[in-house]
A and B are shown apart, each in its own frame.
Chain A
Amino acid sequence: MAEATHDIQINRLYKIFGPNGAAHVADVEAGMTKEELKAKHNHVLGLDDITLTIPAGKIQVVMGLSGSGKSTLIRHINRLIEPTSGEVIFEDRDIVKMSQTELRQFRREKTAMVFQKFALFPHRTVLENTTYGLNIRGVGEKEAGERARRWISRVGLDGFEESYPNQLSGGMQQRVGLARALTNDAEILLMDEAFSALDPLIRTDMQSVLLDLQAELRKTIIFITHDLDEALRLGDRIAILRDGRIIQQGTGEQIVLRPADDYISSFVRDVNRGHVISVRTIMRKGERAETPVTLTATTLLEEAARAMTNAETNRANVVSRDGTHLGMITLQKCVTEMIAPDDSEAVDPEVQVA
């Protein structure tokens, strides 16, 4: 199993759509905005100075509204879109500089992709869809079939091997999409709004499937979404994109607690904070309480409140994963943080963790 070992490093990546994009990189670097570029040169700014480290074995969510450049960004990692300038480094090689043959090799062995509209091959059965990546690489029919069946079963599609995609529901089709990508056994999994086309219940279900798989597989997953709840649920790290620029990146907690600007604040306002913020962020450091409840630092506020309520107490001690005492929280503080953001007391979780 290909467990991810290498970060993906994106450096100063620009994409300008139009016949002569390269000529305008300097203008954009000098501060020309998307609107000015469109008005003056009739070129469209897709990505503007993207620098991002995608950590190995983690889920990196890229979030933004439509037109923010998120689908453009993910297509630069396997170079389905040619960048105008910049580099994408993986395993000490710049993907941007690869020859066509090297690029195909890279796509076959290191990446797999799941698409918003599934993009299954309608003329191939579920099994044939799933073996596609292996067929392309020249893996024998028998071995490909065995490996594909394992993943079809793993995503819960036993018995549908011989069905055609059109005979399946949307959720099942995307399971096929996921099985097709996983069968490739690649380190990098690119998911372009993979669950956006699904009903809410099925979407939550698929998110659970993905999290379960990731706990075991530890791939480097780049997940594109426009849905903040999805981003917070899945993302180890989140980057927020607007007009082709990254306007904030960090953990979900960091983004919810300290939105970088009004644009992000407006996103974050309706988030269920009890699902995102952990007790370590709001605990009183070093203090100790007389209480039967002990929580680990990463416990979410909602669970913490439930634990204290169930134990009929209003205090809980907070310990690190190895059991070292860190501090304590009160039920009142817990509830306050869940319902009303109070910026004056918000502490940078990065600092607190240390």
Chain B
Amino acid sequence: MDLIEFPSLGRGDLRDMRIAIDGAFRDFTRAYGETLEAMFHPIQVLLVFIEDLLIGSPWILVLAAIAGLVWALSRSWQIVLGTIISLCLIGFFGMWEDTMRTIAMVAVCTMIAVVIGIPAGILMARSDRANQLITPILDMMQTMPSFVYLIPVVMIFGLGKVPGVIAVVIYAVPPVIRLTNLGIRHVPADVLEAAEAFGSNPRQKLKDVQLPLALPTIMAGVNQTIMMSLAMVVVASMIGVRGLGQPVLQAINNQYFTLGVMNGLAIVAIAIIFDRATQAYGKRLQKHLEAVHG
């Protein structure tokens, strides 16, 4: 027996198998593609709305709104000042519109990730079985090369904003789910027992005790999700999502060094703004834990 070569399916069999699976998926796409597209249409509407709002409004108002939001989250004038300076530089170097598109996209992806991720995390925290089931799926979502799941997404939705959002959410949702689960599981047992002793029902326990105590951890997950969505903008631009990713892609294809660096730095700048603002917010949420009695 030949022990050098691994016994594998013949080349013909493999080809047949691939053709069969691809064919079945293509049939599925033809049959349900339009239905699925219709289902996901609201995402497109939302994204276009936010984009139009950010791009169509006077830049000074948009700048003020972003600065106001950052202030509301962080309560730190340093972070607000940094935000204003970086956005002004971005605008000065002609990247305002692309930056707004990227911000709109990250905002929508984060919203979707939170809407899916927090309930999924709660489910995992409540049921060990759900935990066992979902954990490997999350592992897969985080390690599977994004190009692999881009193929079926593009086959169903074609090129455009919606497949971009779906690809980004697949990549970016795991941290919210994991950290919601972790945050709820780490609520001290004695505090839960106290809630129980006072007659809380499971919903009251979740709302009044578990979620508030898990919130700083959940916010760390949201922060991670935002960072990962930003990391995906270049990949998303390959399937037609407009924004800062597209000039970068163009720069790669044509070896435009300066164009690449400028847009890359713009991505870095908004990443830092989002990161500092959400982190500062997470810290503020933990204020009650800081003032320990001396």
Give the B-binding residues of A (Cβ under 8 A): 78, 80, 104-109, 111-113, 115, 117, 119-123, 132-133, 135-137, 164-169, 184, 190
Q: Which residues of A contact B291 (CB under 8 A)?
A: 164, 166-167
Closest A residue to B285 using CB positions: A123
A115 touches B190 (CB 8 A): yes
B3 to chain A, nearest CB (A): 48
Give the A-binding residues of B (Cβ under 8 A): 188, 190-191, 193-201, 204, 208-209, 212-213, 288-293
Cβ-defined partner of A121 (8 Å) among B191, B196, B199: B191
Q: Which residues of A contact B197 (CB under 8 A)?
A: 78, 80, 107, 111-113, 190
Which A-B residue pairs are the 9 nearest by beta carbons?
A108-B199, A107-B199, A119-B194, A164-B288, A119-B190, A113-B197, A104-B199, A133-B198, A167-B291
Bound Cα distance from A135 to B212, whole angstroms: 16
Q: Which residues of A contact B290 (CB under 8 A)?
A: 166
Are A168 and B293 also in contact (CB < 8 A) when A122-B191, A123-B213 are? yes
Cβ-defined partner of A104 (8 Å) among B191, B201, B288, B289: B201
A110 to chain B, nearest CB (A): 9
Cβ-defined partner of B209 (8 Å) among A107, A121, A133, A164: A121
Interface class of chain A by DSSP: mixed
Closest B residue to A101 using CB positions: B201
Q: Which residues of A contact B208 (CB under 8 A)?
A: 121, 132, 135-136
Bound Cα distance from A6 to B229, whole angstroms: 62
Are A169 and B193 also in contact (CB < 8 A) when A104-B199, A108-B199, A136-B204 are? no
Extra contacts besides A111-B197, A132-B195, A132-B198 (4): CB < 8 Å: A122-B213, A123-B288, A136-B208, A168-B293
A-B contact count, CB below 8 Å?
74
A223 to chain B, nearest CB (A): 15
A119 touches B191 (CB 8 A): yes
A308 to chain B, nearest CB (A): 47
Bound Cα distance from A237 to B293, whole angstroms: 37
A237 to chain B, nearest CB (A): 23
A166 touches B289 (CB 8 A): yes
Q: Which residues of B contact A109 (CB under 8 A)?
A: 199
Bound Cα distance from A105 to B199, whole angstroms: 7
Bound Cα distance from A78 to B200, whole angstroms: 13
Q: Which residues of A contact B190 (CB under 8 A)?
A: 115, 117, 119
Closest B residue to A166 using CB positions: B292
A136 touches B194 (CB 8 A): no
B75 to chain A, nearest CB (A): 18
A-B contact pairs, 5 of them (CB 8 A): A107-B199, A109-B199, A113-B197, A123-B212, A165-B288
Closest A residue to B197 using CB positions: A113
A164 to chain B, nearest CB (A): 4
Bound Cα distance from A135 to B200, whole angstroms: 10
Bound Cα distance from A111 to B197, whole angstroms: 8
B198 touches A108 (CB 8 A): yes
Bound Cα distance from A326 to B194, whole angstroms: 49
A252 to chain B, nearest CB (A): 28
